[in-house]
Amino acid sequence: QVRLVESGGGLVQAGGSLRLSCAASGFIFSINAMGWYRQAPGKQRELVGVITRGGSTNYADSVKGRFTISRDNAKNTVYLQMNSLEPEDTAVYYCNAHRINIGPRYYDSWGQGTQVTVSS
Where does the pLDDT of residue 70 fall: very low under 50, low under 70, confident under 90, or very high at 90 and above? Answer: very high
Q: Which secondary-structure segment (H or E) carries 96?
A: strand 91-99
Where does the pLDDT of residue 109 fall: very low under 50, low under 70, confident under 90, or very high at 90 and above? Answer: very high
> So what's the pLDDT on residue 13?
98
> So what's the pLDDT on residue 114?
98
> So what's the pLDDT on residue 15?
98
Share of the chain above pLDDT 70, in %: 100
CA separation for the pair 33, 29 (Å, rounded) = 8
Give the model confidence (pLDDT) of 12-46 as tens digits.
999 999 999 999 999 999 999 999 999 999 999 99
Where does the pLDDT of residue 87 fall: very low under 50, low under 70, confident under 90, or very high at 90 and above? Answer: very high
CA separation for the pair 38, 109 (Å, rounded) = 15
- Residue 109, CB-side half-sphere exposure with 13 Å CA sphere: 15
> So what's the pLDDT on residue 44?
97
Where does the pLDDT of residue 115 fall: very low under 50, low under 70, confident under 90, or very high at 90 and above? Answer: very high
> So what's the pLDDT on residue 11?
98
- Is the separation of the CB atoms in 19 and 30 below 8 Å? no
